Homo-oligomer: A and B are copies of this chain.
Amino acid sequence: MRPQLQEMALSLLPSPEESASRPELRHFYQMLRDYPERGGKGLRSELLLLSARAHGLQEGGPGWERALWLAAALELFQNWVLIHDDIVDDSDERRGKPALHKLHGVSLALNAGDALHAYMWAAVHRAGLDAGMDEFLNMIHRTAEGQHLDVSWVEHGEWDLQPQDYLEMVRLKTGYYTIVTPLRLGALAADQTPHPDFGAAGLSLGAAFQIRDDVLNLTGDPAKYGKEIGGDLLEGKRTLVALHWLGAASETRRQTFLEQMRLARTEKDLAVIAELLDWLRESDSLTYAHEVATQEAERGLTLLRGALNTAPDQAAAGELLGLMDTLIRRDA
């Protein structure tokens, strides 16, 4: 992430020095700053700023600060969502350090995520763009719908799902906040009406992005990937690879898989999980997932190229398409 954006996000939060009177409150302020201080790649904020430039905004020129505040708000969104997601998934790590609830317990982490959520709206407000409120509201609503699908399948032990169900879930859970909303906010920051194809383009590209992420979770280089390889299996996540594999697996293997998925994370047999990982890796389901990701990516890129065809700054539009291309081909 750009250091400038991180500084802007952090400038909204109280600093631990502000309340020397109570050590508990200093601790609270440190918790609020923890995830934002860990940084992150800043892909979504970069995409927003590229979209703003493609729509005619000049870096450092009039309106640029508006785009920066929206970008900072997007980073704060990701931070509070990750705090709560890490609780729900009971993740061990985040960006190479223990997850917030592992450091301070679920209750305090939940509360810190709520406060950080409020500061996200402060950043949106700082941008001073009325339409920004609606964009963020829609993004949160869609992302929460996706999260609801994902989590309710886990809670209800639902594995009777088709690839189409998976695609619908990831479009909601990942597509809006990763691609659609950054593209639209960039246009709005530049006082332009977002192209209607940003929706369909972003949802396809978001799905491609998430499928690659799921594949990396099975096959990635641990040193590069930054999350636990096989973590999705431990968390019992529905992925395109797993759903496809289940459709073709032998009844014995299928039962072994479902048996492990019925168990809580801590109850799972790590030797069996390693075996499942091998089965998935050796299957043609990886190839299938790659193909779907490629189709979604090509569909999305074609739509996006068309939508940016008449954008005022074609050089920035080219950069944006380049970033998108890297994003969906990434190996980490």
Contact present for A155 and B107 (CB under 8 Å): yes
Is A119 among interface residues, defined by CB-CB distance under 8 A?
yes
Give chain A's interface residue range (CB within 8 Å of chain B).
35 or more
Residue from the list B24, B87, B111, B148 in contact with A144, Cβ < 8 A? B111
Which secondary structure dominates where chain A touches chain B? helix
A137 to B114, CA, bound (A): 11
Contact A24 B149 (CB under 8 A): yes
A322 adjacent to chain B (CB < 8 Å) = no
A260 → chain B closest CB, angstroms = 19
Indicate how many identical chains form the complex. 2
Question: Which B residue's beta carbon lies closest to that of A144?
Answer: B115
Chain B residues with Cβ under 8 A from A115's Cβ? 140-141, 144
Whether A88 pairs with B110 at a CB distance below 8 angstroms is: yes
Least Cβ–Cβ distance between A129 and chain B, in angstroms: 12
Q: How far is the CB of A9 from chain B (nearest CB, A)?
A: 15
Most buried by B among A24, A27, A106, A115: A24
Q: Could you list some 19 contacts between A and B, CB below 8 A?
A: A22-B168, A24-B153, A28-B145, A28-B148, A31-B148, A81-B114, A84-B110, A104-B155, A107-B151, A111-B148, A111-B151, A112-B148, A114-B114, A114-B117, A114-B140, A117-B117, A118-B140, A119-B137, A122-B137
